[in-house]
Amino acid sequence: MEPENLRPTCLMCGQNTPLWTEGIFIKGKFICARCEQMILAVHVDDIWYPFIKDQLKHIWFNRTEGPYFS
Ligand SMILES: [Zn+2]
């Protein structure tokens, strides 16, 4: 039984996942298992690539904490 606020919000899709064990934390940012698979599978010529690259930039370079999406 976990408090609501311990549920991480996925950085990629903005979804609150009830199963936070099904995903990865990178530098304190959460990516759900579904998006993790998408990242691993993406190609540079994929239409999702620029979006994914942009989101990942927030992980590497944004040190501020807070809501990932508002
Ligand atoms: Zn996600």
What confidence tens digit (pLDDT) does each residue in 60-69 have? Answer: 765 555 555 4
Contact (Cβ atoms closer than 8 angstroms) between residue 23 and residue 36: yes
- In the reported structure, the alpha carbon of residue 42 is separated from the centroid of ligand 1 by a whole-number distance in angstroms of 14
Q: In degrees to the nearest 10, what's the CA dihedral of 58, 15, 66, 39?
A: -20
pLDDT tens for 29-61 read 888 888 898 888 999 999 989 988 888 887 776
Q: How far is the CA of 14 from the centre of ligand 1 (A)?
A: 6
Rounded to the nearest 10°, the torsion over CA 3, 69, 13, 8 is -20
* pLDDT bucket at 70, cuts 50 / 70 / 90: very low
pLDDT band for position 19 (50/70/90)? low
- Higher pLDDT among residues 12 and 6, named by residue: 12
Query: Residue 24 and residue 30: Cα distance in Å, rounded?
Result: 6
Q: Are 39 and 56 in contact (CB under 8 A)?
A: yes
pTM here is: 0.63
Q: Separation of 1 CA from ligand 1 center, angstroms?
A: 22
